[in-house]
Structure 1
Amino acid sequence: MRLLAISDLHLANPSNREAVEALPAFPDDWLILAGDIAERLDQIESLFALLAPRFAKVIWVPGNHELWTMPGESGAGDLAGEAKYRALVALARNHGVVTPEDPYPLWTGPGGPCVVAPLFLLYDYSFRPDHVARHEVVAWAREESAVCTDEVLLNPDPHDTREAWCWARCAEAERRLSEIEEGLPTVLVNHYPLRHELVRIPRVPRFSPWCGTRLTEDWHRRFNAKVVVYGHLHVRRTDWRDGTRFEEVSLGYPRQWNRSLGVAPFLREILPGPSAG
């Protein structure tokens, strides 16, 4: 019995979709899907329908791609912002998939007990250099062709801005995490890294403003995290901070992983997992 994780499946790419469809069943294991499954509701629902029967439990958090308002998306109308997110939550629940809106499940397998907390926090552009003002971020990133597509496709409606939506989500998550029984370890799951220093993307360093919020820098300590799971960066790695293991679990686009291996080797073992040192 293992707690596994993967993110950034990007099923709009046929190679990725075919590889995920070939993934065998792991009936004793839980699976975390840490965002950026796909952009369209039908693709996302197809994955929930595919994987829910193959794992004992599936836990999902949205990435930015799931939240995009896609022009001409069949059956989705003009879903944007909060409405698109709520539609995704409904799809997940229809297949028994745990979402950030549900009670946090308790992992009692090897490495437990741990509360697995799926989070939806977004970003507020604070992962930018100190010398770059908020109103200068897009122009600064554009100098190196690093502007995120969210600026066109991620509508924060009904919030005024993406950062306002981020701050609201962080406040709600803080409230819920503070209610966890004192002393009980957690596995924090978010699409974006919780710490700025973990954003290491040398190919596009100016993409960092779209990668998280400084509000979460100390959450691994505040909320007794045994492991923090995230994706978004397409740079698979393991880091340790203050005794907490941080796992970037992206699959990525076809050029970023070895397709001859299939997807199974890229399922990261979160628990029981390795021990520090």
Structure 2
Amino acid sequence: MRSGLHAMRVFALSDIHVDYDANLQWVRQLSRTDHVDDVLILAGDVSHRPALLLECLDTLARRFRQVFFVPGNHDLWVLGDAQGGDSLLKFARVREAVASCGAGMEPQQLGPWFFMPLLGWYDYSFGEPDPQLQQAWADFRACRWPAHMQPADVAAHFEALNPQVQPPAGSRVITFSHFMPRLDLIPAIVPKQHRMLDPVLGSTRIETALRGFKAEIHVYGHSHINRNVVLDGVRYVNSAFGYPHETRISARQLLCVAQG
């Protein structure tokens, strides 16, 4: 129920990783009254454990007017998943969990803002992985895809699931994805040894999509490096909560990105 006391605010958050108890407790302790008029964009990586994913989404959905969600790579891990199946089936289960608690993965107009989720995956458009990355990157073991699907096929599959809609005339558009839409969002201060991760950070497909929607703001996650920067007329925001030890690169708080 809306209080009617405040204009709607739009908050961004990603990479909450509630597998860590400190992160889960932060979610549980969020105010039950401060955000009843507000929207939360949760840009993926909640948990690979279905019960924790559901608890987190349900808790947030009870505290915000609307929660929008796109799954991240961790959310689709199936390694050790008692339910079995591959990561496409896991995605279907995640979508069911989102719907069951009242959160959303579909485009929606609220106030002046049109919210557009952009599903995706990395497709090596940021570079090819070297052998070290092939060994180190957990997704290559924790995600499981049909035998014929390579990362580019996975990215194309999720891209095809995005609704083919256009925002109503006069709307202000906020798009959001888990994966990065452009590689130059990585700041220059990131050490060279960490740049081996570039191939698995995102996809230029997402950038093409958000430009097609004439997005004013794009919220993303995945990198765990907080950013709030305007590039070529679009404001890009990463508000990562991150792992408990990542206090220098993650703000560990809700970030208001818009009002209306």
Q: TM-score range by the shorter chain?
A: 0.7 to 0.9
Name the CA distance, whole Å, in 2 between partners of 1:240 and 1:229. Answer: 12
- Residue in 2 that maps onto 1:253: 243
Going from structure 1 to structure 2, the CA distance change for 1:269 and 1:124 (only over 3 Å counts) comes to same
Residue correspondence of structure 1 range 105-254 to structure 2 within 5 A: 105-108=108-111, 113-128=112-127, 134=128, 137-141=129-133, 147-157=136-146, 160-173=149-162, 176-177=164-165, 179-181=166-168, 184-200=171-187, 201-202=190-191, 204-254=194-244
Q: Percent identity among equivalent residues? A: 28
SS at match of 1:217: helix
Name the CA distance, whole Å, in 2 between partners of 1:79 and 1:40. Answer: 14
Name the CA distance, whole Å, in 2 between partners of 1:220 and 1:119. Answer: 8
Moved over 6 A (4+): none
- Residue in 2 that maps onto 1:131: none
SS at match of 2:230: strand
- Residue in 2 that maps onto 1:92: 98
Report the alpha carbon displacement of residue 159 of structure 1 after superposing the two structures with TM. 5.5
- Residue in 1 that maps onto 2:58: 49
CA root-mean-square deviation = 2.2
Q: Which runs of 5+ in 2 are unaligned?
A: 1-7
SS at match of 2:93: helix
CA contact (8 A) 2:9 2:37 kept: yes
Of residues 245, 256, 260 in structure 2, which corresponds to 1:269? Answer: 256
- Residue by residue, what CA displacement relative to the aligned partner does 1:83-120 show, whole Å, maximum 9, x if unpaired? 10010110110111101xx3x11121xxxx12101121
Q: What code does the residue aligned with 1:252 have?
A: G
SS at match of 1:20: helix
- Residue by residue, what CA displacement relative to the aligned partner does 1:97-154 show, whole Å, maximum 9, x if unpaired? 101xx3x11121xxxx1210112111112211xxxxx4xx241536xx8x32001011
Report the alpha carbon displacement of residue 212 of structure 1 after superposing the two structures with TM. 1.0
- Residue by residue, what CA displacement relative to the aligned partner does 1:38-74 show, whole Å, maximum 9, x if unpaired? 1110110111221111111111110000000031x3x
Q: What code does the residue aligned with 1:30 have?
A: V
CA contact (8 A) 1:8 1:252 kept: yes
SS at match of 1:167: helix
Name the CA distance, whole Å, in 2 between partners of 1:182 and 1:255. Answer: 44
Going from structure 1 to structure 2, the CA distance change for 1:158 and 1:225 (only over 3 Å counts) comes to farther
Q: What code does the residue aligned with 2:120 have?
A: L
CA contact (8 A) 1:236 1:250 kept: yes
CA contact (8 A) 1:159 1:165 kept: no
Question: Which deviates the most, 234-243 or 58-67?
Answer: 234-243
Going from structure 1 to structure 2, the CA distance change for 1:105 and 1:204 (only over 3 Å counts) comes to same
Aligned residues: 246
